Every structure is written in C-alpha cells, then in structure tokens.
Structure 1
Amino acid sequence: GVALDVTLAADIPGIPEHEQVTRLGEGVAIKLMDSSSISHPGLVAHMKGLAKKRKIKHQMEILPRGGTDAGAMQRTQAGVPVITLSVPTRYVHTSIELVDKKDIRAAVELMAAFIEEGQKAKMELE
C-alpha cells in the first residue's frame, strides 16, 4: 500500500542538518521509516527508480517520531508491503502550514508514475 501524507521540513536556522528530516523545494519525500512503519525495500527501490527515470525531484526521509496510515496498512492481516510518499511541510499541524508547490507536483507525478507502472511493481514484490 501507498500512504500519502505531509512530513516535517525543519530546514530552518538553528536546526542541525541531521534533524531536518526533509527540506522544502527538494521534491517529494520517499519515506524509509517512521515510528509506525518501515517501508518495504522493494517499494523504496521502485519509487527511487521511477523518480530517477522520470526526472522527478525527490529526497529520502526518516521521520524519528510520528507516523502515517502506512503503519496501520502494514499490520493488516498477515502484513502488507507499504511505503509513504510525503510532501515536506513547515509548521505541521498548525493553521499556517507551509509547502512548496513544486514538492506537491513532484508527489503527484511520482504517484501517477507508480499507478501507471503498477503491474511492474507488483511483479518485483512477489
């Protein structure tokens, strides 16, 4: 399953680079893990490959706290391969959330590419 969500973009002065999670304007975030799920390595490789093939700007993400719907999907029945595609967002869960339109566009483009090539991904996971 694929979860679509926002993620932390803490690329602001005073935050050490290793704690920034993602950066605005650097593309869709392909999540490796968060506190509720670990992305399937085959799905990660497939999404990275699609992004490179289609020249979609992307960045890798590890979210140290918080989770997405992927966590619940992953624990369904005997387990489901999951991944999350995230839009980097400053000031998450406030009335002034801030995103870069290019990151939203990149997320839409990568999800569309995944849907278009979905059968290939299914075969790689089996």
Structure 2
Amino acid sequence: MQLLETLCRLAAPSGHEDPMTAFVLDYVQQNQAKWQHQPRVLAGEGFQDCVVLVFGQPRTAVFAHLDSIGFMVRYGRQLVAIGGPETQAGYRLVGHDAEGEIDCALTINEETETLGYEFSRELPRGTELTFRCDFRETDATVQSCYLDNRLGVWTALRLCETLEHGIIAFSCGEEHGGGTVPFLAQYIYDHYGVRQALICDITWVTEGVHLGQGCVISLRDSLIPRRTYVDRIRAIAARAGIAVQLEVEDIGGSDAKELQRAAQPWDWCFVGAPEDHVHTPDELVDKRDIASMLALYQVLLCEL
C-alpha cells in the first residue's frame, strides 16, 4: 500500500493535475523495465496533462482519472468547491502559495451557507486547497482522502506489470465536469481502432453494494452501457471465479459520460471497488475489494 499512500498524498485537484502527471511519468520510467511488456508512452504536447500507455496490439482501453475534488480561494476568506466535496466545519485543508505551506480549517457560514477558511493570513485568490491526508491502513481496510480516484490510478499502474495488449489512459478533469476523455477517445479510436473501454474508478457503498463483497460492475448510473458488452464482462468474471457486485443506480457519472456521447461507437463499463464516506477526508475501502478489482482488470484485459 506504499504506492497508494504516495498517490493519496499528492495534491492534484481538477485543472491542476500536473503533479500527478509528473509522478506517473516518473513511475513508468523507473519501473517499466521490470514489467513483462514495455509500453509506448504518449504525453506532453497535444495531450495536456494526460498520459497514455499503449501495450502491444490493444483491443481495450482503461480510463483512470488523475484529478481529485478540492477547493479554491475566491475573494477574501471565501472558498468555492472544485467538484463535489463533502463539507464539514473543521475539516483540515492544505496547500501552498508564495509565502509558504498552508494548513487551515474549513468554515461554513450558517446564514449564507458559503464556504471559507480559518488561517493566520488571507490567501491569494485562486489558491487551491485539498483535504489533509491522514492515510490509515489496517489488516482489512485502507482509509484516506482521495482514494477516489488514486485507487483507480493504483490499479492501472499495477495492471501495467503484466499487461501485454491494451491501453491505459490517465485522464484529467473528471471530478469537475467536462474533462479530457473526448480527445483521448478520438485519438485512441483513430490511431488504434480501439472502441471498447473500462472505467477504472471508485463507486460508493449503498444499500445494495457493500464493503468486502468484491469489485463492482455497474449496470447503470445516470447513464446506461450497452448490455451485450456488460454481459461479456460479467461472464468473464464468473468464469474466473472473481467476487463481484452488481450496481444499479440512477445518479452519478464518470469518464464514461464522454464515451457515451462520442461520435465513435464506444462500448464502456464502469468497473471499480466500492468505498464508504465518499468525497470526504475519510474515504474507506476494503482490501478484499482492492484485490478483486485488480484481479478482474487483469483477466478482462486478457479476454475482452
């Protein structure tokens, strides 16, 4: 879990993903010699802060977003949310500006329901703040801010160790809407003819989805994937004997929303571990679900 903790401690709210981009590129450079197969690395000019790893003759693309939720200083001591973080007075927020490191407390004006911060000085407008990371690991669970989607990134990087054929696309901007998937999807389709995808992200615990019972295959959220493709994924999981849960929701979204609306005929399915305390500093995931998620991705990339 050392790699996961390192990822969770990196601040990369939507719009400012380059610290995560730099880490991923360095990680690939430092580790790819130990992988069973080496990828072609696409990044830099034309890819903004995204990273695309192309292995062999790909049939499937895995999308994992690099960004997280957070906050941005507005005017005076006001804050505005980046994405949809849960808010509670007293949450510790961290960041930095030209004067140094920042460790402050989230405040909520009860009358106006506006967000703010408590700190020894006023922060420059545009300063980004993220939850302070308190990474906690037990024999059974991992708890931290930003497991959404650092755990998806972790899974994708671990998948690279054995991947022979496939594409790993690290995207940006998912938490705040829009994002970079449209141009990534077109590039991947145009250059490699790939038109089926897995969304490597984290979902939530509900009355029908529980910790410790396996990775989630989503039948729908606010969008509905094509059933024949999802059924193929379910059949592969069943043959492999991997514990999975099925999710049916009417809200929520992911990088899949851009694939659903693409001009190209993309198939997609959300496949990810469930977590409790979503979008708080205390996101909680069961290690059995982490193991299920990685195992399922490994077999899916071989058989899809």
Normalising by the residue count of structure 1, what TM-score does the alignment of the two structures yield?
0.79
**Shift in Å at residue 80 of structure 1?**
1.3
Match status 1:100 vs 2:286: yes
- Counterparts of 1:111 and 1:79 in 2: how far apart (Å)? 22
Partner-residue secondary structure (3-state), 2:245: strand
- Counterparts of 2:208 and 2:221 in 1: how far apart (Å)? 11
- Counterparts of 1:39 and 1:100 in 2: how far apart (Å)? 26
Residue equivalent to 1:2? 198
**Shift in Å at residue 79 of structure 1?**
3.7
Question: What does the per-residue CA deviation read over 1:9-44, in whole Å, with 9 as the maximum and x for residues that have no partner?
Answer: 13xxxxxxxxx2411111011000111x21221221
CA contact (8 A) 1:32 1:60 kept: yes
Question: What does the per-residue CA deviation read over 1:46-98, in whole Å, with 9 as the maximum and x for residues that have no partner?
Answer: 11111111110001001221111111112111441111002110011111000
- Counterparts of 1:65 and 1:5 in 2: how far apart (Å)? 15
Query: Quick check: which has more Rg, 1 or 2?
Result: 2
Match status 1:61 vs 2:259: no
Q: Match for 1:81: what amino acid?
A: D
Any gaps of 5 or more consecutive residues in structure 1?
A: 11-19, 119-126
Tell me which of 187, 211, 224 is aligned to 1:24: 211
Residue equivalent to 1:82? 268
Q: Match for 1:4: what amino acid?
A: C
Any gaps of 5 or more consecutive residues in structure 2?
A: 1-196
Tell me which of 62, 65, 71 is aligned to 2:257: 71
Count of aligned residue pairs for this structure pair: 108
More helix by share: 1
Aligned-pair Cα RMSD in Å: 1.3
CA contact (8 A) 1:6 1:89 kept: yes
CA contact (8 A) 1:21 1:63 kept: no
Kindly report structure 1 stretches of 4+ aligned residues shifted beyond 2 Å: none
- Counterparts of 1:109 and 1:39 in 2: how far apart (Å)? 22
Q: Which moved more, 1:86-95 or 1:38-47?
A: 38-47
> How has the CA–CA distance of structure 1 residues 21 and 65 changed in structure 2, closer, same or farther, with 3 Å as cutoff?
farther
Residue equivalent to 2:220? 33
- Counterparts of 1:104 and 1:62 in 2: how far apart (Å)? 20
Match status 1:50 vs 2:236: yes
- Counterparts of 1:50 and 1:79 in 2: how far apart (Å)? 22
- Counterparts of 1:115 and 1:73 in 2: how far apart (Å)? 19
Q: Match for 2:214: what amino acid?
A: G
